[in-house]
Amino acid sequence: MAKTLQKFSGRVLLVGCGNMAGAMLDRWLAEGLDPAQVAIVDPFAVPREGIAHFASLADWIGQDGGAEWVMLGMKPQQLGDVASDLAPVVRGDTHLLSILAGVSLADLSARFPDARAQVRILPNLAARIGAGVSAVASLGDADDAAVTSLLKPLGTVVALADDGTMDLVTAFTGSGPAFVFRLIESYAAAGERLGLSADDALRLATATFGGSTALLDGSGEKPGVLVAQVASKGGTTQAGLDVLDEGGQLVALMTNVLRAARDRGRELADIARGGN
């Protein structure tokens, strides 16, 4: 079977290659992206065979200095320093991609006005196995087909008309895997507290969450319909649901979780703009 990125054209620069950007890159390489097309600027990034690795933008500019695809994957607080070095070499044929939490398309356009397009992408860690979610919005003359070809190997792609809801999407899908992992961890811890071994509790919790989400995804049903298929009046499941549903506490908790993550994204955006 042909790999989807074997014919992808253009040089790719990753400025910052931590967990998320690294997961995206590894998936792209698995889908046939030529390592010779890629350069990484990150003094702490894990070396990858065949990929040029630079400790600083100055080193990259001095030895190479050209890329049709530039992805920002460092911390949002570093945007000012990065832009001062990078903006002069971002040309009219460059797509400026960003996975920076809280940094808007308007911010990117102001920092990199000469880019062909500014593209804001919010992926999540499941991109590593091609099961992620990537929300995307852009300004300028973006090559939508090429952008999509980069994102589809990562999983589901959701195109947004603008980036007005991106701070919430960052919390909802970008941070979401961590929240799900914590729920699984807590579910397993509860099982252990009630008598299961730690290993059995984690295995059962992982399989229960995984099977349930797979069933939901494949059934086409709303979650409530499947809840009703599991629970019976006066049964064990309903007894547990009564605790979960009491006073709307679970929805309230998740709303607070998402609000906190969303608001932190906005705070990071203010810092990236040079605010307090």
pLDDT for position 1: 62
CA distance 74 to 21: 9
Portion of the chain with pLDDT greater than 70, in percent: 98
| Closest residue by Cα to residue 73 from 22, 144, 116, 112 | 22
Report all structural domains of the chain as residue ranges with CATH numbers, in order of start: 12-161 (3.40.50.720), 176-267 (1.10.3730.10)
pLDDT tens-digit series, residues 218-260: 999 999 999 999 999 999 999 999 999 999 999 999 999 999 9
CA distance 40 to 14: 5
pLDDT tens-digit series, residues 63-85: 876 899 999 999 988 999 999 99
Question: pLDDT at residue 274 above 90?
Answer: no
CA distance 267 to 225: 39
Q: 């030529």: which residue's tokens?
A: 34
pLDDT for position 102: 86
Q: How many angstroms separate the Cα of 28 from the Cα of each of 11, 22, 75, 103, 249?
A: 13, 10, 21, 24, 41
pLDDT tens-digit series, residues 98-157: 999 889 999 999 999 999 999 999 999 999 999 999 999 999 999 999 999 999 999 999
The CB-based long-range contact list for 250-257 (8 Å cut-off, 24+ gap) reads: 254/179, 257/171, 257/179
pTM for the complete prediction? 0.84
Question: pLDDT at residue 181 above 90?
Answer: yes
